[in-house]
Amino acid sequence: MAERTVRIGSSHGLHARPAKLFTQAASSSGASVTLAKGSGKPVNAASILGVISLGVDHGDYVTLTADGDNAEQVLDDLAELLVTDHDE
């Protein structure tokens, strides 16, 4: 199982559009991905309800885990999404 901790770059946190983009990416990656805020309980990263309800804000640290053939590559891509600011 691969794991990665990153800091949220989106100025409005992991809400609305960034949450949608992230969930879409997690869901289409084919891997089983979880997301946890700080040391909290992980949620299914393919669940927009799970991701939104974490209440992740700008600057929060989140931990990603992935299981699957290309888990490392999947986490690289998702981590990149999380550190980028998608809000205009």
Partner 1 sequence: MTSSTPALVSGTGIGQGVAIGVVARMSDPLPPPADSPSTRTQADEAERARTSLRIVARELESRGQAAGGAARDVLEAQAMMAEDPMLSEAIDEALAAGKTAERAVFEAFASFRDQLAAMGGYLGERAADLDDVSQRVIADLGGVPAPGVPSPEHPFVLVARDLAPADTAMLDLDKVLGLVTSDGGPTSHTAILAREKSIVAVVGATDATGLADGTVVILDAASGTVIANPTDQQKADAERRIAERQAAAVAPVTPGALADGTAIPLLANLGSSAGAQAAADAGAEGVGLFRTEFLFLDAGGTAPTIEQQREHYLRLLQAFPGKKVVVRVLDAGADKPLQFLNDAHEENPALGLRGLRALRASEDILREQLTALAQADAATQAELWVMAPMVSTVEETGYFVGLARECGIRTAGVMVEVPSAALLADRVLGRADFASIGTNDLTQYTLAADRMLGSVAALQDPWHPAVLRLVGEVGAAGAAVGKPVGICGEAAADPLLAVVLVGLGATSLSMSTPALTDVRASLLNYTIDEARQLAEIALAADGAAESRAAVAAAALSMKEA
**Contacts with partner 1, residue ranges (CB under 8 A):** 9, 11, 15-17, 19-20, 23-24, 43-44, 46-50, 52-53, 55, 58-59, 85, 87-88
- DSSP letter for each residue of 46-76: T-HHHHHHT---TT-EEEEEEESTTHHHHHH
CA distance 29 to 14: 19
CB of 4 to partner 1, least distance (A): 20
54 vs 75, which CB is nearer to partner 1? 54
Helix (H, G, I), strand (E, B) or coil at 2: strand
CB of 85 to partner 1, least distance (A): 5
